[in-house]
Amino acid sequence: MLQMKSRIYKKAAVCILFCLFLIPSVAFSGQFRVTPIRLDFDRGTKSGVITIVNEGGDRLNVQMRAFEWTQNADGKDQYTETNDIIFFPRIMTLEKSEEKILRAGIKIPATTKEKTYRLFIEEIPEPKKAEGVNVAIAIRFGVPIFVKPLKEEVKGEIEKVDLSKGILNALVKNMGNSHFIINSVDIKGKNVKGEETFSKELSGWYLLSGVSRRYTITIPQEVCKALSKLDIEVKTDRFKLNGKLDVDQAMCNP
């Protein structure tokens, strides 16, 4: 997930938040690199190490904070500060090109359902003066931490597909006790001859245990009325899910 927020004014700060989780290591605008970009704990593995490398040209100060990671009814990420994760150090200073180790472990034992956390590594910015404006750049990266259940069951389904007023809704639910990653949601429409006349791909994200996420697209009315069937394919890192909907022209009317 990539998020960017910027505000520039006198003695203001520019805060750039990067959340990238699907590559082996992450480098942040020449500032710092983190590897690995996730930790997996279970009954046999209760601790791990994260390497932080200062890729910038200046000394780097970072601080660490741990949060429990959940998702609400809409599948949006939510964070609550937690003491479940043990980590050291809490503050770190790295000189140019220096690398240091961050150690992290879990206090709680594995249960019947996966527990999910993020350990945030956040730069402590130092103001830099440029043309009379004080600008500080702060970068934060959240390392996902997964505590696997005693017996893992990965399962999902397309819980519901409906089309009304030209708006297609597909509800994807995680039915298992562990997360999976939705890589993409592919939607294809065909006419009565079986010819593909509509195609749309939506991006995905982590879907935690027991959570549903709705994917919505609007189909132009003239395209919608020519459709006979819609096929939905959800591609995850563990499996594929398929759904379909027979289209009635009444579903396309505003």
Residue 54, token pair as written in the block: 């200062």
Question: 159, 173 in Cβ contact below 8 A?
Answer: yes
Residue 152 confidence (pLDDT) above 50: yes
Average pLDDT over residues 158-167: 96
CA distance 60 to 67: 23
Amino acid at 43: R
User: With bands split at pLDDT 50, 70 and 90, how would you rate the model's confidence at 137?
Assistant: low
- Give all domains of the chain, ordered by start, each with its CATH number: 8-147 (2.60.40.10), 156-248 (2.60.40.10)
Confidence of residue 126 (pLDDT cuts 50, 70, 90): confident
Q: Once rounded to an integer, what is the mean pLDDT over residues 241-251?
A: 96
In the predicted structure, residue 149 carries a pLDDT above the cut 90:
yes
Long-range contacts of 11-18 (CB under 8 A, 24+ apart): 11/127, 11/133, 11/134, 12/133, 12/134, 12/135, 13/125, 13/135, 13/136, 13/137, 13/138, 14/135, 14/136, 14/137, 15/137, 15/138, 16/137, 16/138, 16/139, 17/139, 17/140, 18/139, 18/140, 18/141
Percent of the chain having pLDDT more than 90?
76
Identify which of 16, 15, 50 has the alpha carbon closest to the alpha carbon of residue 33.
50
pLDDT reading at 7 higher than 60 = no
DSSP 74-138: T--EEEEE-SSEEEE-SEEEE-TT-EEEEEEEE-SPP-SS-EEEEEEEEE----EEETTEEEEEE
Q: Is the pLDDT of residue 237 over 80?
A: yes
8-to-11, 13, 132, 197, 208 alpha-carbon distances in Å? 8, 6, 12, 46, 36
Taking 60 as the threshold, does the pLDDT of residue 27 lie above it?
no
Instruction: Supply the pLDDT for residue 131.
Output: 56
User: Helix, strand, or coil here: 13?
Assistant: strand
> How remote is the C-alpha of 152 from its chain's centroid?
21
The answer to whether residue 162 scores a pLDDT higher than 50 is yes
Give the Cα separation of 209 and 247 in Å (integer).
Answer: 31
Q: What is the mean pLDDT of residues 204-220?
A: 96
59-72, pLDDT tens digit by residue?
999 999 999 999 99
When pLDDT is cut at 50, 70 and 90, the band that residue 31 belongs to is confident
Q: What is the pLDDT of residue 181?
A: 97
CA atoms within 13 A on the CB side of 4: 4
Q: What is the pLDDT of residue 57?
A: 85
Pairing of strands 32-35, 26-27: antiparallel
Two structure tokens written together for 75 = 């599948």
Lowest-pLDDT range of 5-19, 160-174, 181-195: 5-19
Structure tokens of 13? 């700060």
pLDDT band at 138 (very low <50, low <70, confident <90, very high): confident
What is the pLDDT confidence band of residue 132, given thresholds at 50, 70 and 90?
low
pLDDT band at 108 (very low <50, low <70, confident <90, very high): confident
3-state secondary structure of 56: coil
Give the max Cα distance, the chain: 66
pLDDT of residue 109: 85
| Per-residue pLDDT, 169 | 97
